Structure 1
Amino acid sequence: MQHVFVNLPVADLSRARAFYAALGLAFDERFSDDAAACVVVSESIFLMLLTRDKFATFSPRPVGDPSRDCSTLVALSRDSREAVDAFMSAGLGAGGIDNARVQDHGFMYGRSISDPDGNVLEVMWMDVSAYERSLGDEINSAVDA
């Protein structure tokens, strides 16, 4: 099985841990210490919250400031539209910032929140079968034209 580890720089590890815990995400303490926290997103996807100093030891370039500049958008899927809104509510209650970017395409619904450090999380739900049906409708319309 392949695993994905997304490394995110944080200024205050305790604050970051509290934010991600409020989202209902668990931590793998085997890979956590006073400079890092391993957030379990799924069986194969993890967010590594790293202090800026720790992050710098991995980066070949200077560490950017996610509160000013965006270089990564982490997209996380949820099981329903309601779960997207619940994720947002939990994150806002834990100090996140609503990026005021709602996407509602019927078959797909998404929102955007920044964690307290400015790292952007795009949380979304998609009904894949409805999307596939819409593609079929577009193809049929093009053929009929």
Structure 2
Amino acid sequence: MASQIFVNLPVKDLDKSMEFFTKLGFSFDPRFTAAKAACLILGENTFVMLLLEHFFKTFTKKEISDASKSTEVLIAINVDTREKVGELIQKAVEAGGSICMDPEDHGWMYGHGFADLDGHQWEILYMDINAALQA
């Protein structure tokens, strides 16, 4: 079983991407942050490596998807409250991101999504596990 998860995403401007996620309240692990990459901390064992596109290309022989035109991955983050969903979406838009999906309310699960500066789609979710188990 994996002890840590690192998702790798290509970005056009590392400084702007770091500024964007800092405005959302996230921080970076300085041990894995340098001129070509930054380690965004999502949780205790969950990280997103923001890699400059030219550096990202050194890890794959495939073309990089243009996230503003197609979706290769959806990144979902579970938060503690429904209100936190709205707060993160608002911060993302204020920091230069955009809404990429309408809010969805399934009773036990509520979510909303934004696209970051490079078009990567992030879904912010609140899940009431106890209500889900009763459904």
**TM-score, normalised on structure 1?**
0.89
Q: What letter is aligned with 1:75?
A: A
- Residue deviations 1:76-106, cap 9 Å, x none? 0000000010111111110011013211011
| 1:66 counterpart = 2:63 | no
Return the alpha-carbon distance in structure 1 between the equivalents of residues 37 and 92 of structure 2: 20
More strand as a share of residues? 2
| 1:50 counterpart = 2:51 | yes
- Residue deviations 1:46-72, cap 9 Å, x none? 010001001101123111111111100
Return the alpha-carbon distance in structure 1 between the equivalents of residues 3 and 43 of structure 2: 12
- 1:108 — aligned with what? 109
- 1:18 — aligned with what? 19
Q: What letter is aligned with 2:25?
A: G
- 2:31 — aligned with what? 30
Return the alpha-carbon distance in structure 2 between the equivalents of residues 44 and 36 of structure 1: 18
- 1:98 — aligned with what? 99
Return the alpha-carbon distance in structure 1 between the equivalents of residues 112 and 33 of structure 2: 29
Return the alpha-carbon distance in structure 1 between the equivalents of residues 56 and 101 of structure 2: 28
Return the alpha-carbon distance in structure 2 between the equivalents of residues 9 and 26 of structure 1: 18
Unaligned residue ranges in structure 2 (runs of 5+): none
Return the alpha-carbon distance in structure 1 between the equivalents of residues 82 and 61 of structure 2: 39
Return the alpha-carbon distance in structure 1 between the equivalents of residues 31 and 69 of structure 2: 32
- 1:81 — aligned with what? 82
Return the alpha-carbon distance in structure 1 between the equivalents of residues 115 and 60 of structure 2: 22
Return the alpha-carbon distance in structure 1 between the equivalents of residues 36 and 66 of structure 2: 17
More helix as a share of residues? 1
- 1:9 — aligned with what? 10
Number of aligned residue pairs: 134
- 1:40 — aligned with what? 41
